[in-house]
Amino acid sequence: MSRKGKVYIILLILTVIVIVFLEMTKAKSVNWFPSYATHHKIPYGTYVFQDLLEKHSTTINNNERPPFEYLGSDASMDGTYLFINDNIYFGEDELYRLLDWVDDGNKLFISASDFEEKLLDTLNLNTRSINTFSNFSGDFELKLVNPNLDDRSVYTFEKDPVMFYFNRIDSVSTKVLGVIKNQDSESDIDEEELLANVIRQPFGDGEIILSTFPQAFTNYFILKDNGKDYTSDLMSYIDFDRPLYVDQYYKSGKTIYSSPMYLFLNTKSLKWAYYIVIIGALIYIIFEGKRKQRMIPIVQPLKNQTVDFTRTISNMYYENGKHKDIVHHKIQHFLEYIRNHWHLQTSIIDNTFVTNLASRSNNTIEDTTALFEAIKAIENQEEVSATRLERLNNLIENFKSNNQWKTKT
């Protein structure tokens, strides 16, 4: 290897080392993906909320199956069914099964920014996003309005630029439990500007609670300032003396890792070890992966022996005195030549055929007639001499040579 090539290799290795060092030492960026999965410790995971539930209640049932399947497997189950995610979309049959279960005296608690449309129509509700044109900081104030709660503080949330509220409710049967507003509109919450974001509505013998603020159950909100008090007050509407069924099926965060590479890519040291192996393999392929073998000998292609074979067979016929057979093959080959080159049928040889052949082959009618009379005469002979064979061959070759001359000119 030349000196210049070695310098390039050293520069490449140093560049890779610097890149790896910079990547390993830089701060890990925060993942703000709205997961709401209980096993995620990222800001929008619900790991802390799940841990608090398990510490303060012994009647929690985590459900990783669809509600339609889960409710159908046990007709005697009762209590509260809790859903937390950025959006909840049930199928029609699944929604009806949930509503029938609530109608039997159970409670449905759903916290999501976007709800099942058919559920909103059933409860005569509608949601809308808050106008944030005047709220450049993206801060929102939240409050639970139940006077029976000891702590009725105002809570601030500033991480989402868009928040939702119920802009249409059934005032007869629906009770507002929580409100929200833009922080920049007023310093204090005025009753006229309150936007309902948590409501409760009876349904049959049961009850449905809906919240448009699922962020209240995330790690970020619970661990920030006094956010855990808001979440705790919100959970006071659940009867923990009865079983609590926590949905783990409708989650935006992935709960099962189908790829084994997750273990490598999610661990910093293993991830960079994996990258270094790939980079090393590429360097080896570039500089040492050349195929090494002896020179491949040149194999000459086989020659076309058709002409030599034909010449040998014809000589054999000629030397054995089989002139009649040679004449037969010669005439048949000539007729095939007429069909292929001048596109004439040779089944009937008459005056019309002779005239057309003479015209297309650049021969006179007399020469053409003489040729076919000679062919007819030699075919009628039992024995053919070498002289007659040579004369027929010369007539045919001269006849064909006139056409070749015409083609060249």
Element at 198 (helix H, strand E): strand 195-203
Q: Quick check: helix, strand or coil at residue 258? A: coil
User: What is the per-residue pLDDT for 339?
Assistant: 86
pLDDT digits (tens, 9 = 90+) for 7-19: 777 787 788 778 7
Given a cut of 50, the residues of the chain with pLDDT beneath it are: 185-192, 405-409
CA separation for the pair 110, 151 (Å, rounded):
23
Judge residue 10's burial from the number of C-beta atoms within 10 Å of its C-beta, 0-12 exposed, 13-18 middle, 19 or more buried. Answer: exposed
CA–CA separation, 200 and 236 (whole Å): 13
Sequence-distant (6+) residues with CB within 8 A of 205 are: 103, 104, 105
**373: Cβ–Cβ under 8 A, 6 or more apart, which residues?**
none
Question: Element (H or E) spanning 6, and its range?
Answer: helix 3-25
pLDDT score for 255: 54
| Residue whose entry in the numeric block shows the structure tokens 């009618």 | 365
- 8 A C-beta contact, residue 46 and residue 52: no
Contact by Cβ (8 Å): 120, 127: yes
Amino acid present at 127:
T
Position 126 scores a pLDDT of 92
Provide the terminal-to-terminal Cα distance of the chain, rounded to the nearest Å.
Answer: 63
Q: pLDDT tens for residues 269-325?
A: 777 778 888 887 877 777 665 666 667 788 888 777 665 656 665 666 566 656 777
